[in-house]
Amino acid sequence: MTVRRDFKEPARCRPDLVIGREELFASARDQLVRGGSVLLHGPAGIGKSTVLRALAADYGDAARTVLRCSATESESHLPFLALADLFGLVLDEISDKLPTAQRTALESALTGRGESTLQRDGLALRLAVLSALRALAASGPVLLVADDLQWLDSASAELLGFAARRLGDTPVQLLCAVRTEGQEYDRHLRASPPDTLAVRLNPLSRAQVSALLDHRGYTDLPRSTVREIHRTSGGNPLFALELGRALGENPTPPRPGEPLPVPTSLRALVLSRLDMLSGEARRTLLVASAGARPTLALLHAAGRENAEAETAQAAELGLLATEPEGPAMRFAHPLISAALYAEAPAQERRAAHAALSTAASDPIERARNLALATTGTDPEVAARLAEAAALARDRGAPSVAASLGLLAARHTPPDVTPAPDEHRLQAAEDAITAGEVDLARDIAREVLTRATVPADRIRAWEVVIEAAGQALGDVDAVFPQALADAGDDPRLLALVHYHLAWRKLIVEGDFSEARQEAAHAAELAARGGDRRTELMALSFQASTETLMGHPDAPTTIKRALKEPQDPYVACHHNGVGAARFRWLLMSDQLPEARATITALLREVRRRGMVESEVHFQRFLAETELRSGHCGRALDLSRESLRLARDSGIGLGASAMLASLAEASGGDVDRALALAREAAERAEEDGDQMYLSRALAALGHAQLVAGDAAGAVGSLRRVRELEAGLRITDPARGRWHGDLAEALVRVGEPGEAQDVIDVAREHALRLGRESVLAVLDRAEALVRAAHGDHEGALSRLTSVQDRLAKLGYGLEEARAAFALARLRTGRPGPTSYDEAARLFRRCRALPWLRQVEAAASEGAAEPVPVRPQVPASDALEGLASMERQVAALVMEGATNREIAARLFISVKTVEATLTRVYRKLGIRSRVDIVRLAAGRHAK
């Protein structure tokens, strides 16, 4: 099909493209904008056609003519078919511009009139295609869009390749897509223009598959199911959507341990080669598909005597691929294994699992296969599954433990101890640990429909509350029911009051009430002999006191560290280790804080505690950021955010920290977007505590981006929120220095000084040395704004040295930058080299770009040194900032020089001058100089 500029197809949205293909799309589009060509390649279903259509729609308007073809396998034997698609509608336009022999050959090939062939008219046809493209390009750029190049008829492929290699500077671009496995795109690339960019579409990540399923309406799938869809599909979007559709249409979800239902469409796609296998070879592959990590030894042990020959046959057919580094075998695609298993009769599946239940060497794998080979209840099978679940838990595989626990519940008779619901509750708790909150909540809700024992009900309510995460306001109705179920049992009441403490903090934003609830929970737990809950409550109390700046925080931490300890609490993200880390970080003990959080992160990874891993990775990133290791912090924060998106845990907090890291070491626009996302999520969840942190991150990003007014707005709101929360420790959010600096930039040094004074009082009381140094840096800017440049220079020199000794590399660099800017336009050294060196050492790229810009501006416009001229009487009515700007104009300073000396933006200078002109009834800066000259002459 041919599309001209005066005929546009209806606009198409590209909703699926933005899911996991943003960078790829931008790279391909940039290539097209530069005048190059693009070849998209990848396996079937990976999304090539979607990206191709979106690129053509997005870039097609830049071309005068768009030529399109889309080949199919069934038509690939028809010669010149693709050529007819491309040139059929423009043949009349270009035929009279071709030499007679070329025109005749092309018309014969496109219309079928005559018997044109490559053998007979080869040269004429090749030249005709090249001439046709050149003729079209003479009237404007041409874009040739071809999908499924692998099905292009050989004659058209040969002619297009000949022309593509000879186009030279002719404005003809190719946008093509081809199905490939591995790197088998070379021959297509050789048939493309020399400047063609080959872009491979890779599988989607689990988070991207989840987003794609959500977008298509499959929003009710548990995260454990989404994880299985991603594994089975191999990240292929077409396969993932088909699996999601099959699950959406299936009223009965697969039971624990069972694979996903594979729709007929996908079975036909991947199993067509199975018909070439013998029956015995197919049964051998079924055993392999039922095993967790099949090997030839395992297949032999399971009774498959001819496994070598049968698997070799499967490998020749492309069904199996051998692992290069070990004895394990794997299917060429996970979907082949899933489809093979789904296709097999239930009796054959159970037989495969029965064979593996004795052949497998791992006790967990033996128990799992025994369960899947057994129908009905069986106490012995249930006991073995419970033992396997405990072993998986000890190995740090809580997700596997949850699956085994549910299998144990299924095989447990109702009158046996432990009862089926006890297995289910343990499975729910394992699912929480593994980050599978949807599965955990569903299990707990099911148990609550029939449980009558108070301890079981409280245990289930705990899971429901934990599954809510930061959105505790969504489960408000749970707390009265839980209190009623707890009765007067101190152990059960302690659990409920512990969660009520979190509700007080997150939903109501009341640190004082939260602290009291936590203390009450600790007291109840001690009375009931529940050491784990007592330690969790004490840890929460200590963290709250630390954030409040309460003087009892060190004492409470010591109480929480007393023996006996609980290994789970010791490494939990709300446990005593985390409380101690927060105290170390806020007390400027960065090396010890790093060692503490690194050890905790290592332990939770060993245990498979996904939620704690998300938080601890973020804590480590924050520690590295404070230390000035911006590159490391950026990597850690991005990984934490990826894990948070993947698991659905701690998204707001991870986005907040990622914003800070991006603003310091990455991309400022991304920092702004992440901070806004974190703030929106906190407001949706009703989470007052993290809303203030998110807004502080937003204010910081705005300051780095040069939007001082925006930073003031965001950080003023933080000040109001923390006042309402009664947070007094300035080391909690460390936003005070940013607010003071932003206020100076917008011409409010008086308010900036007020912010500094209030924060300094609390920082002195708590001994927050790094906070005091940052406040002194901000106060130096206030002094400079008031004209005390010598005092400001002296203060900044001292601040830089103090921050260096404390190990705050990024803050040290910011002090050096402020010092260099303050020296601009004054006698003495004005070099930005020191600031640039320090920011480079931190890998603080956004700040380094600011230094380079300031240095180039200073070099381009040296500041004249003139004696200060007193203002005229008319200046007395101006505001403080207006008088300072006017005074510097009288000295002859440019707007950039004024901005540098007063630590405000050029836009703020311009706006201030506009107010000065209006108040003084003048029109320009020249009139200000005249006023000064008149006053000086008196």
What are the angstrom distances between the C-alpha of 273 and each of 161, 180, 695? 33, 18, 57
Tell me the pLDDT band of 6, cut-offs 50, 70 and 90: very low
Beta carbons of 666 and 849 less than 8 angstroms apart: no
Q: Among 320, 329, 260, 259, which Cα is nearest to 293's? A: 329
Q: What is the pLDDT of residues 334-368, one digit of tens each?
A: 888 888 888 889 899 999 999 999 999 899 999 99
Tell me the pLDDT band of 625, cut-offs 50, 70 and 90: very high
Q: What is the pLDDT of residues 85-138, one digit of tens each?
A: 888 888 888 888 888 888 888 887 777 655 555 555 668 888 988 899 999 999
Reduced 3-state DSSP string for 193-254: CCCEEEEECCCCCHHHHHHHHHHCCCCCCCHHHHHHHHHHHCCCHHHHHHHHHHHHHCCCCC
pLDDT of residue 183: 53
Per-position b or e across 712-724, b if 16+ CB within 10 A of its CB: bbbbbbbbebbee
Q: Worst-scoring range by mean pLDDT, 317-326, 376-385, 593-602?
A: 317-326
Which ranges constitute the DSSP H helices of 648-788?
651-665, 668-685, 688-704, 708-725, 736-745, 749-766, 769-785
Beta carbons of 197 and 39 less than 8 angstroms apart: yes
The DSSP H or E segment spanning 145 is: strand 142-147
Q: What is the pLDDT of residues 665-716, one digit of tens each?
A: 999 999 999 999 999 888 887 777 788 999 999 999 999 999 999 999 999 9
pLDDT of residue 712: 94
Beta carbons of 521 and 497 less than 8 angstroms apart: yes
Tell me the pLDDT band of 405, cut-offs 50, 70 and 90: very high
- Token digits for 52? 């191709």
Q: How far apart are the first and last CA of the chain?
A: 83
Q: Cα separation of 601 and 606, whole Å?
A: 9
Q: Worst-scoring range by mean pLDDT, 148-162, 367-381, 538-552, 889-903?
A: 889-903
Which ranges constitute the DSSP H helices of 788-923?
789-806, 809-823, 833-842, 845-860, 880-891, 895-902, 906-920
Beta carbons of 815 and 799 less than 8 angstroms apart: yes
Query: Does 581 or 857 have the greater pLDDT score?
Result: 581
Q: Cα separation of 409 and 397, whole Å?
A: 19
Q: List all residues 6 or more positions away from 807 whose beta carbon is below 8 Å from its beta carbon.
A: 588, 590, 591, 627, 628
pLDDT of residue 358: 92
Side chain identity at 646, as an amino acid letter? D
> Looking at the predicted structure, is the pLDDT value of residue 326 above 70?
no
Share of the chain above pLDDT 70, in %: 89
Q: Cα separation of 805 and 333, whole Å?
A: 55
- Token digits for 549? 């700046």
pLDDT of residue 13: 40
pLDDT of residue 919: 73
Beta carbons of 659 and 699 less than 8 angstroms apart: no
Q: What is the mean pLDDT of the chain?
A: 85
- Rounded to the nearest 10 degrees, the angle between the axes of helix 895-902 and helix 880-891 is 130
Strand partners, 176: 39, 146
Per-position b or e across 685-702, b if 16+ CB within 10 A of its CB: bbbbbbbbbbbbbbbbbb
Tell me the pLDDT band of 5, cut-offs 50, 70 and 90: very low
What are the angstrom distances between the C-alpha of 492 and each of 2, 311, 331, 443, 504? 73, 56, 50, 20, 19
Over residues 548-570, the mean pLDDT reads: 89
Beta carbons of 281 and 313 less than 8 angstroms apart: yes
Beta carbons of 606 and 565 less than 8 angstroms apart: no
Category of 70 on φ-ψ map: left (φ > 0), alpha (ψ -120 to 50) or beta? beta
Instruction: Assign 3-state DSSP to the chain and report helix, strand, coil percentages, each to 5.
Output: 70, 5, 25
Beta carbons of 720 and 726 less than 8 angstroms apart: no
> Looking at the predicted structure, is the pLDDT value of residue 870 above 60?
no
> Looking at the predicted structure, is the pLDDT value of residue 15 above 50?
no
Over residues 378-384, the mean pLDDT reads: 93
Q: Among 243, 236, 239, 241, which Cα is nearest to 203's? A: 236
Q: Cα separation of 34 and 31, whole Å?
A: 5
Q: What is the pLDDT of residues 719-746, one digit of tens each?
A: 998 888 778 889 988 999 999 999 999 9
What are the angstrom distances between the C-alpha of 710 and each of 658, 698, 885, 906? 20, 9, 21, 15
Contacts by 563-569, CB closer than 8 A, 24 or more apart = 564/531, 565/535, 566/531, 566/532, 566/535, 568/532, 569/532, 569/535, 569/536, 569/539
Q: Cα separation of 576 and 568, whole Å?
A: 10
Q: What is the pLDDT of residues 23-47, one digit of tens each?
A: 888 889 889 988 899 999 988 888 8
pLDDT of residue 438: 84
Q: Cα separation of 252 and 345, whole Å?
A: 18
> Looking at the predicted structure, is the pLDDT value of residue 914 above 90?
no
Q: Cα separation of 902 and 896, whole Å?
A: 10
Residue position matching structure tokens 């299924």? 410
Per-position b or e across 815-849, b if 16+ CB within 10 A of its CB: bbbbbbbbbbbeeeebebebbbebbeebbbbbbbe
Q: In what order do the strands lie in the sheet with 196-200?
A: 2-4, 65-70, 142-147, 172-179, 37-42, 196-200
Q: List all residues 6 or more positions away from 40 whose beta carbon is below 8 Å from its beta carbon.
A: 28, 48, 51, 52, 176, 177, 178, 199, 201
pLDDT of residue 334: 83
pLDDT of residue 262: 80
Q: What is the pLDDT of residues 447-461, one digit of tens each?
A: 999 999 999 999 999
Burial class (CB in 10 A: 0-12, 13-18, 19+), 606: exposed
Q: Cα separation of 165 and 189, whole Å?
A: 10
By residue count, the chain amounts to: 938
Q: Worst-scoring range by mean pLDDT, 533-542, 555-564, 850-859?
A: 850-859
Over residues 774-799, the mean pLDDT reads: 92
Kindly state the greatest CA–CA separation across the chain. 113
> Looking at the predicted structure, is the pLDDT value of residue 423 above 80?
yes
pLDDT of residue 214: 83
Q: Cα separation of 754 and 297, whole Å?
A: 75
Peptide linkage before 418 cis (omega within 30 of 0): yes
What are the angstrom distances between the C-alpha of 486 and each of 461, 533, 581? 11, 15, 33
Q: Among 843, 763, 772, 769, which Cα is nearest to 809's? A: 843
